[in-house]
Amino acid sequence: MLQIGIAVIAGLAAAVGDGVLAPPVRLAAGETWIDTGEEIAHAGPSFHDLDGDGRRDLLVGNFAGTLAHYRNVGTAAAPKFEAKGFLAAEGAPIKIKNW
């Protein structure tokens, strides 16, 4: 179910100029599908260049308030993602209150 949410957002990100959305794309990190798991809902994907290399990386927030980080090791036009764990600060995962 969560994979669908990510795929839909990825499809929106690929929208073309005439207002027609591109088909949804299921994202993977290496050989593993990106998935927040069955126990954690409300995937909130967002693309940002976190390391300043010109390629947008993927952050996936979830209901628990953590942000899974996937570094783009592909290109800007053909991204490939590498799982980097949860985004952290001072050695601890960042946790955002969402209610």
Residue 78, H or E segment = none
How far is Cα 44 from Cα 71, in angstroms, rounded to an integer? 16
How far is Cα 73 from Cα 56, in angstroms, rounded to an integer? 10
Q: Which residues bind Ca ion (CB under 5 A)?
A: 49, 51, 53, 55, 57
CB 58 within 8 A of CB 64: no
Q: 40 vs 83, which CB is nearer to Ca ion?
A: 83
Q: 46 vs 98, which CB is nearer to Ca ion?
A: 46
Q: Minimum distance between the CB of residue 99 and Ca ion, rounded to whole angstroms?
A: 30
Q: 14 vs 76, which CB is nearer to Ca ion?
A: 76
